[in-house]
Amino acid sequence: MLDFSYNVAMQMSAKQQQTKLKHWEPDPDVTDEALEAMRVEVLDRIIVARVGLLLRHPFFGNMATRLKIQAADEWCMTAATDGRNLYFNTQFFNAMDNKEIEFVIAHEILHCVFDHLGRREDRNPMLYNIAADYIVNNLLVDQRIGTKPKIVDCFQDFKYRGWTSEEVYDTLYKDAKQRGQELKELLEQLEQEGEMLDEHLDMEGDGEDNKDGKGRPKYSKAELDQIRDEIKEAMIQSAQNAGAGNVPGEIERMIKEMTEPKMNWREILRQQIQSTIKSDYTFSRPSRKGWHTGAILPGMNFADTIDICVSLDMSGSIGDEQAAIFLSEVKGIMDEFKDYKVKIWCFDTKVYNEQDYSADDGEDISEYGIVGGGGTDFMANWTYMKEHDIQPKKFIMFTDGYAWDSWGDPDYCDTIFVIHGNTARNINGPFGITCHYEEAA
């Protein structure tokens, strides 16, 4: 039975390749009986592939065993996952060998691990999905996990090695704009260059499409949050079961970020700002260490005035809600101290609307005008500071952490990156101090 169904699929694939070079599609003429017989064999081969992952790549094998295997021929042309289920198209899986099935299963797992659905936000779905596939497929090929399927021309290019999906997205989008391409033209070009290995689901909804268990999965926001928590717990457990050296470095860093105790980011920021104002001595509060000498020794005087520069990332990936949060946090810094001098500006690829605030002028920073909305160039801040002879004691950047190219000049001034967004917890600046914003209860 296995040889028969596999050969049928190979004949079908060859026929498709003669008529269409890209975009694998199941044969609509396969009978229900042939499909059912094929499905029995496919289920066995998926189980064999999971065992293969357990033996050779135990982190992926452990993650795979928690996914429920579900046939989805009615709506899925290749493969998909919602974090709880592995959905498969019978003909698609039947057209691959076991090592290729291992690759596809691991591909679905990495979409869960990297939370690609949650990180898309308001980006174009198709372009972001392509960017996510570049990241996932690079890692799988790099780690030699399974074999890249031959029936699908996957998006995979090592020039994106070590990138994030957001960085790939920005690069594809900006390169297209520089060529004068519209988004539609870019997507048409990419469809000729490669194809998606799986279907990326938009799962948030009321579940109407999946009442009979055969449609696309739909979950409430609360359910999606629960699934993300389940995935995080599974990642930690799978890494422990896999043992040292059996987890890809990118995933190890993510798990370390999840499990290590974290200091509240505001405390880190407070300590860093306070370090700039330990600038004088006082005899008003003698140090106890000097009492036994009979002399009065000076103690450190924490000046009341802070003098910092703050920039707000207002690139196109930042929404109004994030902008409002950034501004409220700057106000919080100002409220923390009796006296302050704060220079603030916005940036995308350029710097906008520099303004100075101090305790004396009484101006309300909540009235500050947000400007921006273009691309992203962190270095624009350093270029601006150098051109205007600004050299702050502390430079604080509020950002989502998705740098276009360079993060800035590490030697110019002390820098603090405050990165906002749950999806950016694994991103850290290459210099300075990185704090990850967490909404306070």
Sheet with 305-313, strands from edge to edge, namely 351-358, 339-347, 305-313, 395-399, 415-419, 433-436
Q: Residues 113, 135: one domain?
A: yes
Residue 441 lies in a domain: no
Q: What is the pLDDT of residue 236?
A: 92
Q: Residues 159, 279: one domain?
A: no
Sheet with 79-81, strands from edge to edge, namely 68-71, 85-88, 79-81
Q: Is the distance from CB of 63 to CB of 235 less than 8 angstroms?
A: yes
Residue 315 lies in a domain: yes
Q: Residues 16, 157: one domain?
A: yes
The arithmetic mean of pLDDT across residues 151-168, rounded, is 91
Q: Residues 355, 222: one domain?
A: no
Residue 326 lies in a domain: yes
Q: Residues 240, 376: one domain?
A: no
Q: Residues 213, 279: one domain?
A: no
Residue 36 lies in a domain: yes
Q: What is the pLDDT of residue 162?
A: 85
Which pLDDT tens digit goes with each residue over 274-330? 666 544 444 444 444 344 445 444 444 444 567 789 998 888 766 677 777 777 877
Q: Is the distance from CB of 25 to CB of 151 less than 8 angstroms?
A: no
Q: Residues 361, 253: one domain?
A: no
Residue 131 lies in a domain: yes
Mark which of 197, 232, 259 sits at the end of a domain.
Answer: 259
**Which CATH number covers residue 393?**
3.40.50
Per-residue b or e along 102-116, where b marks 16 or more CB atoms closer than 10 Å to that residue's CB: bbbbbbbbbbbbbbb
Domain of residue 417 covers 265-436
Q: Residues 190, 124: one domain?
A: yes
Which pLDDT tens digit goes with each residue over 235-269? 999 999 998 889 998 898 888 877 765 556 667 77
- CA 377 – CA 39 distance, rounded (Å): 50
Q: Residues 18, 44: one domain?
A: yes
The number of folded domains in the chain is 2
Entry pTM? 0.61
What interhelical angle do 165-178 and 125-142 show, nearest 10? 120
**122 Cβ contact list (under 8 Å, min separation 6):** 319
Length of the chain in terms of residues written: 441
- Look at residue 179 and give its three-state secondary structure: coil
The arithmetic mean of pLDDT across residues 125-130, rounded, is 93
Q: Residues 128, 150: one domain?
A: yes
Residue 188 lies in a domain: yes
Q: Is the distance from CB of 156 to CB of 141 less than 8 angstroms?
A: yes
Residue 341 lies in a domain: yes
Q: Residues 223, 318: one domain?
A: no
Pick the closest to residue 203 from 84, 321, 101 (CA basis).
Answer: 84
Q: Residues 221, 353: one domain?
A: no
Mark which of 200, 226, 259 sits at the end of a domain.
Answer: 259
Q: What is the pLDDT of residue 293?
A: 46
Q: Is the pLDDT of residue 159 over 50?
A: yes
Mark which of 259, 294, 315 sits at the end of a domain.
Answer: 259
Q: What is the pLDDT of residue 421?
A: 64
Q: What is the pLDDT of residue 5?
A: 36
- Look at residue 183 and give its three-state secondary structure: helix
Which pLDDT tens digit goes with each residue over 14-67? 333 333 345 788 999 999 999 999 999 999 999 999 999 999 999 999 999 999
Residue 85 lies in a domain: yes
More confident: 340 or 40: 40
